Amino acid sequence: MPTLIKKPTRIQSAGNKPKVIDEYIGRVNSETTSASVAHMRSPAGWIEPGQTPAFDEFTVVLKGMLHVEHKDGGLDVNAGEAVIANAGEWVRYSTPHEGGAEYIAVCIPAFSMDTVHRDPARDAVR
């Protein structure tokens, strides 16, 4: 039988500024370990620690621009575009422009603090 998800759970974010994370599907809200789906809203100037996650992350930007730094440079992902960060590759997300960004993130398997493998220092660069 299908499972109705009536509302998300608000999750605390990492980074230098508060970011809103509403998890609809995942380990916290639906006890789903195979995938997670979250609606993110991050302010201008937000940056999170770099990470080398053990999951694939598929991100669709709805509004604004999300900057994705990787070991070979960076990508600007604008509204209407998407990006795939593969498991095992280092990435760091930020929203440097006025207005920040709104986006949907899907992680397979589901996001967890044990498998995100964040850098020890917020501004560590690989």
Say how many domains are in the chain.
1
How many residues are recorded in the chain? 126
Q: Is the residue at 126 inside a domain?
A: no
Q: Is the residue at 26 inside a domain?
A: yes
Whole-angstrom distance, CA of residue 121 vs CA of residue 73: 19
Q: What is the pLDDT of residues 80-111, one digit of tens each?
A: 999 999 999 999 999 999 999 999 999 999 99
Q: What is the pLDDT of residues 58-67, one digit of tens each?
A: 999 999 999 9
Q: Is the residue at 60 inside a domain?
A: yes
Q: Is the residue at 62 inside a domain?
A: yes
User: Which domain range does residue 43 map to?
Assistant: 9-13+20-116
Q: Is the residue at 2 inside a domain?
A: no
Tell me the pTM. 0.93
Instruction: Give the domain CATH number at 100.
Output: 2.60.120.10
